[in-house]
């Protein structure tokens, strides 16, 4: 097995950081260190590994000391890849997991193997032989029942709770979720919309204030929870009745995957990647069509059997396809192939 050092884009707790953490729990390779950079969105402190190196001033010196055989990087559209060159200079192979729904900023010859998480992303990258490995998801057990989870956050016990947990920024369309919820509220449905998740680093508190003002102007009850711990997130997911997550830009959408893993029915926008993630089992609205979002949600609100069947099917799909051990095995195979000089890219 190889000495593999992952580099994550920042030292926050976001989707990529969670993927790296899960991989380290199941990999057969030796992971002497994790290097966290300060360049992209994330939440609280990224921890859980004794070899964590945060924002090294001299990355080259750190790599020389660790001497990885394989550098396992995680690329975003706004993340520079200078560490590719440094790794190559030390004789290490470079494997990059390309997460974002944009073409890579690095050149193909700069890496030894490229992985992405969806067939939709594979098409965007433009290299059809890039292997696809879906994201992993490990649901946490609930630490309390749904009643307690709602009470702790001031969520009404007797309303139909529509939830959305994920990073807040316009491209993730929280405004559309608020407007769709407002339509349902005005039709007399006893619903509550719960929005959890931290602000993107590209937006400040004024963006959250605009969302809060939108909810007030629309006259719909919206509870904003802000950043959540992993346990708080899962406790809340288990207390929701429906996941309403319209979004226009996803490489995979961990937020929807987590809702699926919690057994929630899902209403989202009709994007190829989201149909891939949900295997055509969710309800889809044309991007920007608020009326369709509300109509699909109301169908699920009005039918416990329809809602339950969708939630059960999505949960089974997620638990079987996105199990962390199986995902780590796929990644490990690609890392080993690369180390042995049989790169797949």
44-92 tens-digit pLDDT: 445 556 777 877 888 889 999 999 999 998 876 555 567 788 888 888 8
Q: Is the pLDDT of residue 205 over 60?
A: yes
Pairing of strands 160-165, 242-245: parallel
Q: What is the pLDDT of residue 13?
A: 59
Mean pLDDT for 300-319 is 94
Q: Is the dihedral of CA 206, 79, 101, 103 positive or negative?
A: positive
pLDDT category of residue 225 using cuts at 50, 70 and 90: very high
In this structure, are residues 186 and 219 in contact, taking their beta carbons and an 8 Å threshold?
yes
Q: Please state, as a whole number, how many other Cβ atoms lie within 10 Å of the Cβ of residue 206.
A: 8
200 and 105 fall within a common domain:
no
127 and 28 fall within a common domain:
yes
HSE-CB at 295 with a 13 A cutoff on CA atoms is 8
Number of domains in the chain: 2
Q: What is the pLDDT of residue 45?
A: 46
Per-residue pLDDT reduced to its tens digit, 106-162: 778 888 999 999 999 999 988 888 999 999 999 999 999 999 999 999 999 999 999
Q: What is the pLDDT of residue 323?
A: 97
211 and 108 fall within a common domain:
no
pLDDT category of residue 43 using cuts at 50, 70 and 90: very low
19 inside domain: yes
150 and 296 fall within a common domain:
yes
Q: What is the pLDDT of residue 41?
A: 46
Q: To 5 degrees, how large is the angle CA 207–CA 209–CA 210?
A: 65
Q: Which H or E run contains 337?
A: helix 324-339
Q: Is the pLDDT of residue 345 over 70?
A: no
Q: Can you tell me the distance from the alpha carbon of 269 to that of 239, in angstroms, rounded to the nearest whole number?
A: 23
Indicate the range of 55-59, 246-250, 271-275 predicted with least confidence: 55-59
Q: Is the pLDDT of residue 204 over 60?
A: yes
Kindly state the percentage of the chain with pLDDT values over 90: 66
Q: Is the pLDDT of residue 39 over 60?
A: no
Q: Provide CB contacts within 8 A for 275, sequence distance 6+.
A: 282, 284
239 inside domain: yes
Q: What is the pLDDT of residue 52?
A: 78
266 and 223 fall within a common domain:
yes
141 inside domain: no
Q: Is the pLDDT of residue 165 over 70?
A: yes
37 inside domain: yes
Q: Provide CB contacts within 8 A for 104, sequence distance 6+.
A: 75, 96, 98, 114, 125
115 and 153 fall within a common domain:
no
61 inside domain: yes
Domain that holds residue 249: 146-321
12 and 102 fall within a common domain:
yes
Q: Can you tell me the distance from the alpha carbon of 201 to that of 134, in angstroms, rounded to the nearest whole number?
A: 25
188 and 73 fall within a common domain:
no
158 and 21 fall within a common domain:
no
pLDDT category of residue 297 using cuts at 50, 70 and 90: very high
Question: Phi first, then psi: what are they for 215, rounded to 5°?
Answer: -60, -40
37 and 107 fall within a common domain:
yes
Q: Is the pLDDT of residue 280 over 50?
A: yes
Q: Is the pLDDT of residue 283 over 90?
A: yes
Which CATH number covers residue 125? 3.40.50.2000
Q: What is the pLDDT of residue 196?
A: 96
344 inside domain: no
Distance (Å) of CA 65 to CA 53, 59, 91, 119, 273: 12, 10, 13, 37, 40
Give the residue with greater pLDDT, 28 vs 46.
28
Query: How far separated are the first and last CA of the chain, in Å rounded?
Result: 20
The SS3 call for residue 243 is strand
65 and 213 fall within a common domain:
no
Q: What is the pLDDT of residue 177?
A: 98
Mean pLDDT for 269-276 is 98
Q: Is the pLDDT of residue 340 over 50?
A: yes
Q: Please state, as a whole number, how many other Cβ atoms lie within 10 Å of the Cβ of residue 217.
A: 10
251 and 335 fall within a common domain:
no
């Amino acid at each position: 097995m190889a000495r593999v050092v992952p580099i994550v884009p920042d030292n926050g707790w976001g989707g990529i950081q969670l993927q790296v953490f899960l991989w380290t729990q199941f990999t057969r390779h030796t992971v002497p260190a994790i290097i966290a950079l300060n360049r992209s969105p994330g939440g609280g402190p990224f921890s859980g590994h004794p070899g964590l190196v945060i924002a090294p001033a001299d990355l080259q010196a750190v790599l020389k000391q660790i001497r990885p055989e394989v550098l396992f990087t995680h690329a975003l559209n706004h993340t520079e890849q200078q560490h590719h060159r440094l790794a190559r200079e030390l004789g290490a192979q470079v494997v990059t997991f390309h997460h974002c729904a944009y073409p890579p900023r690095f050149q193909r010859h700069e890496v030894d193997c490229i992985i992405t998480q969806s067939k939709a992303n594979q098409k965007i990258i433009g290299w059809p032989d890039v292997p696809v490995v879906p994201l992993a998801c490990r649901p946490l057990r609930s630490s309390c029942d749904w009643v307690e989870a709602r009470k702790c956050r001031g969520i009404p016990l007797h309303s139909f709770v529509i939830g959305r947990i994920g990073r807040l920024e316009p491209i993730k369309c929280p405004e559309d979720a608020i407007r769709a919820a407002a339509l349902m509220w005005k039709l007399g449905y006893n619903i509550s919309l719960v929005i959890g998740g931290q602000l993107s680093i590209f937006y400040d508190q004024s963006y959250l204030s605009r969302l809060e003002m939108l909810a007030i102007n629309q006259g719909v009850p919206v509870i904003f929870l802000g950043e959540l711990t992993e346990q708080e997130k899962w406790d809340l997911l288990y207390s929701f009745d429906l996941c309403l997550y319209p979004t226009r830009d996803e490489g995979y959408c961990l937020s929807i995957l987590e809702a699926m893993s919690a057994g929630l029915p899902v209403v989202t926008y009709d994007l190829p990647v989201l149909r891939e993630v949900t295997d055509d089992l969710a309800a889809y609205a044309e991007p920007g069509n608020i009326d369709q979002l509300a109509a699909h949600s109301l169908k699920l609100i009005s039918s416990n059997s329809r809602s339950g069947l969708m939630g059960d099917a999505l949960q089974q799909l997620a638990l079987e396809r996105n199990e962390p051990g199986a995902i780590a095995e796929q990644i490990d195979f690609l890392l080993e192939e690369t180390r042995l000089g049989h790169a797949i890219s």
